[in-house]
Amino acid sequence: MRVLYVMVLAVFHVALSDTLTEVLESKLELLVMKRLLEHCKLTETLLSENVTIFAPVNGAFRNLSEDMLDKLSTDYNLMVELLKYHVVIGNESLQNDGRYQTMNGRHVRYNNYQHNEVSTVDGVIITEIVPINNGALYIIDEVLIPYPNRTVLDIISTDPDFSQSYEFIKIAKMEELLLGDDVTAFIPVNAGYEKLGAAVRNNVAMTPNLLKEIFGYHLTHGTLYSPGLYNSEKVRTLSTLRDTATIRQHNGYTRVNYATIKRPDIKATNGVVHGINLVLVQSRFYTAILSG
């Protein structure tokens, strides 16, 4: 009897939910999305399938770069593929750190940060969830742009600003760790090593086990985009003793211990990279890095 009651409730809820067309027509902030879906002849497809749609508000399209707007206005297929990147086919129950294939074949990442009471898709904040009769509409304040198909390791190994970090990562033999699932890496930019001094850099480079401990202190499991970070948060790192690093937020800046995040939210297929301006070192290793 209870199963039948739940089934009736579910059917009743679907019956009460508006269609995609009705929601798009009732929400003026989605007017641009509505017109683009119609222009690209996607509306009928989205009405006939179970879908999860990430719908940018009007201002999100206006905030695109002039270069991107020019490309979209002249390349119909590019616009179609961009819109398809905002649609997941199927009745998905989104899970934290889940990756979901979109209509254009690429994946988006969903995160739910309970402490901040915020959810994101590819690091973009979801401002409202609207049920529709064949799925759900997630309203977002930015347009999702497909990012390069690259891992955390790919980002660090190919970005010139991370070249010193990459050299140390190779010495410490930590490449495999950066290929794992759901990795957040707080990676020093090259300028961050200058404050260590040449002698300290040489000492560290000669001690692979110490390097492994120090770089483990820059990594954590779970994808932590900027909207998921909060003041005084203790981040459990991947050093041997699972040392914690502390997030500090003040006057618009976010710091990890004493290092400021200068390049936030560099997206990877297996997590995210934040570029920081200093090297993080656990206090118990201060003597070791100074004496060699």
Spatial neighbors of 132 by CB under 8 A, at least 6 apart, are 17, 18, 19, 20, 23, 51, 53
Do 74 and 203 fall into the same domain? no
Q: Greatest CA span in the chain, whole angstroms?
A: 75
Q: What per-residue confidence (pLDDT) applies to 207? A: 86
Do 244 and 199 fall into the same domain? yes
Q: What per-residue confidence (pLDDT) applies to 5? A: 37
pLDDT digits (tens, 9 = 90+) for 94-120: 999 999 999 999 999 999 999 999 999
User: How many beta carbons lie within 10 A of that of residue 248, not counting itself?
Assistant: 16
Structural contact between residues 120 and 103, judged by C-beta atoms closer than 8 angstroms: no
Torsion, CA 176, CA 237, CA 217, CA 231, rounded to 10 = 130
Query: Residue 66 sits in which domain range?
Result: 2-140
Do 22 and 116 fall into the same domain? yes
50 in a structural domain: yes
The model carries a pTM of 0.89
Domain boundary (73, 105, 140) is at 140
- Cα separation, 216 vs 240, whole angstroms: 7
> Residue 10: exposed, middle, or buried by beta-carbon count in 10 A (0-12, 13-18, 19+)?
exposed
147 in a structural domain: no
Do 22 and 131 fall into the same domain? yes
Domain harbouring 177, CATH code? 2.30.180.10
Q: What per-residue confidence (pLDDT) applies to 8? A: 37
Domain boundary (140, 166, 194) is at 140
Q: What per-residue confidence (pLDDT) applies to 200? A: 81
Do 184 and 231 fall into the same domain? yes
146 in a structural domain: no
Q: Which of 210, 207, 252 is nearest to 229 (CA)?
A: 252
- Blockwise average pLDDT, block size 10, the chain, 292 residues: 40 62 95 96 91 97 95 96 96 90 96 96 97 95 95 98 96 95 97 86 86 95 97 96 96 96 98 97 80 61
Domain boundary (96, 111, 140) is at 140
Do 209 and 265 fall into the same domain? yes
145 in a structural domain: no
- Count up the domains in the chain and report the number: 2
